[in-house]
Structure 1
Amino acid sequence: MDGTRSMDSALGRQQGFPVRNRIFARLINGVLTDFVWNLYLDHLLLIITQIGTVGTVVSARQDTTFDGRSTVSTSVALGKRDSPVLELAARQLVEVIGAHGHRKPITLCLGVKDLSPGTVREIVAAVREDNVWSS
């Protein structure tokens, strides 16, 4: 596929190694974007970057309320604060990841040049299609 690179880390495929990882790249709004997944036993680290650094670091998790509804909580640990589009991106990514059954806390690192709603849609689609569960 044009604009897409993908590689499973040799370490992530070793039997018994506790961390699954996956690295791939996609063109998002015409900019090459790297995706790095590290799935630990109790946590997920997802780095999405167009700028070569982690950018804004967000802690997020999906919980179930006492009446069975799902809620998403996010907290900016480092970087841009009070960005509605950043919160939208984090919430949508948590929901997509939760749809694969992952309910552990997520550390999301977003280093994106232009974080617009269109960019968020493309990022969410890429995460839905190519993730640590698809390998």
Structure 2
Amino acid sequence: MASNNPHPTQFPVTEKSISLDIKGTKTDIIISKYTDSFLVMVTQIGSMGTILHARKEEGVSLDPTFNVSVIFGKRDEPLLVACARQMIEHMSHCGSSRALILSLGLKDHSQEILKDIISAVIENRLW
């Protein structure tokens, strides 16, 4: 796993970028921490791809509810929604209440690829 920017930068937005090989494909990941949200961009194709928005719903229930929606891109890819849901749930369990904007520009939307991406993002998280 080669890392372009192993240490988060602090100005103007805290950001961390890595480049790694996932199942034989070069994958670039950029994680940015804003005041109210995290932006996670993952690309294997050099562009943003499908963009999703995920957030924890505040309510009276003890069990948290998570809302994930596709902003742009493939609306018929349930694994992309599941990927965003797993990330926002992890963020919430770690104590973050920020929303997540997730951009996935992938050559392959298989479960194995998405699991590796989730692991890489969590390993390099800023929350």
The two structures share one fold, judged by TM-score above 0.5 = yes
Identity of aligned residues (%): 34
Gaps of 5+ in 1: none
Residue of structure 1 aligned with 2:85, choices 91, 102, 114 = 91
* Residue in structure 2 matching 1:117, options 105, 111, 115: 111
Distance, in Å, in 2 between the alignment partners of 1:62 and 1:82 is: 22
Structure 2 unmatched runs, 5+: none
SS in 2 for 1:82: coil
Q: Which amino acid aligns with 1:67?
A: S
Count of matched residue pairs: 127
Once the two structures are TM-superposed, the CA of residue 25 in structure 1 deviates from its matched residue by 1.4
CA distance in 2, matches of 1:95, 1:53: 26
Provide Cα deviations, 1:60-119, integer angstroms capped at 9, x if missing partner. 112344121012111111110021111111111212232332211111100011011111
Over the aligned positions, Cα root-mean-square deviation in angstroms equals: 1.8
Stretches of 4+ moved more than 4 A in 1? none
Question: Aligned AA for 2:87?
Answer: L
Q: AA paired with 1:88?
A: A
User: Do the aligned partners of 2:48 and 2:104 also contact (CA within 8 Å) in 1?
Assistant: yes
Contact 1:18–1:41 (8 Å) recurs in 2? no
Between the aligned partners of 2:70 and 2:103, the Cα distance in structure 1 is 10
Q: Which residue type is aligned with residue 94 of structure 2? A: H
Question: Quick check: 2:53–2:69 contact (8 Å CA) kept in 1?
Answer: yes
Quote the residue 1:40 is aligned against.
Answer: 34
Q: Which of the numbers 12, 18, 23 marks the counterpart of 1:24?
A: 18
